[in-house]
Amino acid sequence: EDRRVGSEVFDKQTLETLYKLANQGYLQILHGVISTGKEANVFKGVDDDGNYVAVKIYRVATSDFKKMQDYITADRRFINIGKSRRDVIFAWTRKEFSNLKRAEESGILVPHPLVFDRNVLVMDFLGDEHGAFPQLRLAEYEDAQAVYDEILEDIRILWRKAKLVHGDLSEYNILYGKGH
């Protein structure tokens, strides 16, 4: 399993990108996988200052290229991207970085995006020394209605202030922990 994941994620260009980000101080250590998805894996890392970071690496070889391309071409911010698989995935990474910044600037609690390069996005780690905050579906909370209301308010803010709609918002894509 680990070898399969490694070969899907760590191609030569991705390794070069990680090395470049390490030289810039964004990544000193890359620990294990926090989560795996259809298009990317998220790893726990440590930067040069000893802070935990989340490192999201989009898989170039096995991502759903067609779906990504459809989303990118519909977004006027990404008009002149190339048509190759790598071009689309690199634009997708840039789009996620941009969307995180817009969401954060509107007051939504999201991981602070630190840097992106090619198919790698580095952001603040949402968790502690024990691990990442749990997905909403696995989290423990006292007042489900209050959590629901908070999520609805965040959706309103995301739309009204950031002019964004989250196309894949679910209990799998919401982390719940300290500060929510």
Given a cut of 70, whether residue 123 has pLDDT beyond it is yes
Region 107-121 average pLDDT: 97
| Per-position DSSP letters for the chain, written without gaps between them | -HHHHHHHH--HHHHHHHHHHHHTTS-SEEEEEEEE-SSEEEEEEE-TTS-EEEEEEE-TTTS-HHHHHHHHHT-GGGTT--SSHHHHHHHHHHHHHHHHHHHHHTT---PPEEEEETTEEEEE--EETTEEPPBGGG---S-HHHHHHHHHHHHHHHHHTT----TT-STTS-B-STT-
Q: Alpha carbon 167 to chain centroid distance?
A: 14
Least confident interval from 2-16, 46-60, 90-104: 2-16
Q: What is the mean pLDDT of the chain?
A: 87
Burial 142-160 (b: 16+ CB within 10 A, else e): eeeeebeeebeebeeebee
pLDDT at 127 over 80: yes
Average pLDDT of span 126-152: 93
Map tokens 């071409």 to a residue.
Answer: 73
State the pLDDT confidence band at 3, using cuts at 50, 70 and 90. Answer: very low
| Calpha distance 170→142 (Å, rounded) | 19
- Asked whether the CA dihedral 27, 124, 135, 170 is positive or negative, the reply is negative
pLDDT for res 62: 60
pLDDT tops 50 at residue 1: no
Q: Is the pLDDT reported for residue 107 higher than 70?
A: yes
**Whole-prediction pTM:** 0.86
Average pLDDT over residues 18-24: 97
Averaged pLDDT, 23-30: 96
Give the pLDDT confidence score for residue 122 in this predicted structure: 98
Residue pLDDT, tens place only, 146-167: 999 999 999 999 999 999 999 8
Q: What is the rounded average pLDDT of the residues 41-56?
A: 96
Burial of 104 per CB tally in 10 Å (0-12, 13-18, 19+): middle
Give the model confidence (pLDDT) of 49-93 as tens digits. Answer: 999 999 999 988 765 555 666 666 666 666 666 667 788 888 889
